[in-house]
Amino acid sequence: MPHFYFSLFFFLFVAITAIGGILEISEGREDGRSLLEVISLSGFALCMGLFVWMNSPIWFVPGFLFWNIGYVCQEKRTKRRRRQLAELRAVNGADYPELLREPPLSCPAEQLPYRPGFRVFNNETGELLGTLTRPQLQTLIRDFLDLIDSSNDFYLHKFMLELGPYPDQPELTALLLEFMGDEEDLELRWTL
């Protein structure tokens, strides 16, 4: 009887993966899964379910093939996405050379120079998002000091920002949410 429940888990996984993958493909996202990836992942889970249900090791062979096809497709998609992001970052870096400086010029919150604003970029694409004032940037640096090693990068989650982590600075929360747009998470980079 436990074999039945275990194989049922795999069959449900196949159904959920196939439906979710087809819905993702129908949305037409560039970085979404391809049909081949969905088929290979569903085929792998189906073969593992059949292996458990029939107790026959022959299902490892097609399962292994499906897994390899899915792995290769995912690797190609990842490389394509990294290449696209690098190209975007290089184009935006031509306009803002301080974005591409590695390691970036950095300083503690108390030593920030006095100026009207500090540029904030999407660290993945290099897109200029806007500017932060000195007090706003100091607040972020102090909050992220234990999470970063004197870097200029902040990783933000929309969920955390919607909880209102800066009650004394509602304009900072609103500005960060504006920077995020439709994204659920975002890596920001500020520059001197």
Q: Where are the domains of the chain?
A: 2-93, 100-190
First CA to last CA across the chain, in angstroms?
65
Asked if 40 and 77 touch (Cβ cutoff 8 Å), the reply is no
Residue among 152, 62, 36 nearest 103 (CA): 152
Q: Please list the helix, strand and coil fractions of the chain in percent, rounded to the nearest 5, in that order.
A: 60, 10, 25
Specify the higher pLDDT residue, 170 or 70. Answer: 70
pLDDT at residue 126 greater than cutoff 60:
yes
Average pLDDT over residues 104-109: 67
CA distance linking residue 191 with residue 16, whole number of Å:
44
pLDDT at residue 30 greater than cutoff 80:
no
CA distance linking residue 136 with residue 166, whole number of Å:
10
CA distance linking residue 9 with residue 179, whole number of Å:
41
Average pLDDT over residues 30-56: 79
The token pair at 137 is 């940037």
pLDDT at residue 58 greater than cutoff 60:
yes
pLDDT at residue 189 greater than cutoff 60:
yes
Q: DSSP secondary-structure letter at 124?
A: T
Average pLDDT over residues 45-72: 86
pLDDT at residue 180 greater than cutoff 70:
yes
C-alpha distances in Å from residue 87, one per residue of 6, 57, 68, 82, 189: 45, 46, 29, 9, 17
Average pLDDT over residues 119-123: 83
Q: Is the peptide bond prior to 103 cis by the omega test (within 30 degrees of 0)?
A: yes
The letter for the amino acid at 14 is: V
Name which of 55-69, 95-109, 169-183 the model is least confident about: 95-109
The model's confidence at residue 70, banded by pLDDT at 50, 70 and 90, is: confident
The token pair at 18 is 């196939």
pLDDT, the chain, mean? 78
Average pLDDT over residues 86-107: 75
Asked if 45 and 67 touch (Cβ cutoff 8 Å), the reply is no
The model's confidence at residue 62, banded by pLDDT at 50, 70 and 90, is: very high
The token pair at 126 is 């290099």
pLDDT at residue 146 greater than cutoff 60:
no
Most confident of 6-15, 50-59, 104-113: 50-59
The model's confidence at residue 65, banded by pLDDT at 50, 70 and 90, is: very high
Q: Helix 35-54 crosses helix 2-27 at what angle (to 10 degrees)? A: 170
The token pair at 41 is 């992942």
CA distance linking residue 187 with residue 126, whole number of Å:
10
